[in-house]
Amino acid sequence: MPDTSPDTLEALVPDLIETMLEAGRVVMEVFETDFEVFGKDDKSPVTEADRRGEAIINVALARIAPDIPIVGEEAKSEGHCPDISGGVFWLVDPLDGTKEFVKRGSDFTVNIGLIRDGTPIAGFVLAPALKKLYWGIVGKGAWIADVPATGISNTQPIATRAADPDNLTIVASKSHRSPELEAWLAHFPKADHVSIGSSLKLCLLATGEADLYPRLGPTCEWDTAAAHAVLVAAGGHVDVTGGTPLTYAKNLATFLNPWFLCRADADFDVPDIGSPA
């Protein structure tokens, strides 16, 4: 198994950050054009930014860590998936929030997560339109930085906050809520709600800006892996129904996640989220 100790991963951070920035530049180049939108087999949208971003990341990761296989969203959608039975692999989503991207919104991200034995151990999340980069190594910590025209600046450590039951902030969409989500949110009638796209939902908890993020709907593992690692590195938790941790490589055919709940404060007791009927 490749060496994925926190110290070894920390040494890779500069190269991984440069990879994120390069992919982000390509994504923004496409964003600023009259790009075409294609449909995948699952009816979800894909653009040239998805494809070009993943290509850049794949080349870089193969150079940075040649012994670690890469599972990319776009490659998987085309039927390509490497052997990940060794237990360590990258999960790449070159453009999470493609619908926001297509609508010319700003809530889209580039994501690289590293999985070991089903658990996220490192993650990098770039919001190129917002000029923010988040990253975390479990056992080392988590950080945020500004992304000016070149490089990064104003790097700061981030950490989750303790929950105040009288002043909770929950990340949850104000529209398209399911009856199950509404029923769960009813346990917190005084909570403030914030809405943001893509993997930035988990990053809000990691930076201490929110307390809970219930996801009672479908996601894929590449949607969550990078930000999951950032949140855990910052002190948070991501659990499925019953309170057990969300794991990865659960179903190699689909890479689908079950419902899950993100908590900034692991000691804050909340109702179980249940599971789909």
Tell me: the pLDDT tens digits for 90-131?
A: 999 999 988 888 888 899 999 999 999 999 999 999 999 999
Burial 119-158 (b: 16+ CB within 10 A, else e): bbbbbbbbbbbebbbbbbbbebbbbbbebeeeebeeeeeb
Record the pTM: 0.95
pLDDT tens string 172-205:
876 567 899 999 999 999 999 999 988 999 999 9
Q: Within 13 Å, how many C-alpha atoms sit on residue 135's CB side?
A: 26
Q: What are phi and psi of 149, to 5 degrees?
A: -60, -35
Which DSSP symbol is given to 87?
S
d(CA 101, CA 244): 33
Angle at 206 between CA 188 and CA 140, to 5 degrees: 145
Residue type, 187: H
3-state secondary structure of 207: coil
